[in-house]
Amino acid sequence: MCHVPALKYSKVSFCWRQLGASGVRMKMLRRLVKFLLIFFFIFSFLFSVFQKVQSL
């Protein structure tokens, strides 16, 4: 029972080490995160505008 979280953690750290090894993948990941953040911001803004329009 105790061994499962440790195993999972080691697997995650191994994945992160692999990501760190390839800088290109890390750049792509960062770009993807940035894109998702921008998309989420625009979507929330549009949603708030839509709610205001509906309430009028």
- Model's pTM, two decimal places? 0.46
Q: What pLDDT is stored for residue 21 in this prediction?
A: 66
**What distance in Å separates the CA atoms of residue 20 and residue 35, rounded to the nearest whole number?**
20
Cα–Cα distances (Å) from 26 to 5, 38, 56, in that order, read 25, 18, 45
> pLDDT: is 32 or 21 the higher one?
32
Residues 29 and 19 sit within 8 Å (Cβ to Cβ): yes
Contact 25, 19 (CB under 8 A): yes
Domain ranges of the chain: 3-55
- Give me the mean pLDDT over the 7-27 stretch: 72
Whether residue 11 contacts residue 5, with contact meaning beta carbons closer than 8 Å, is answered with no
pLDDT value, residue 47: 95
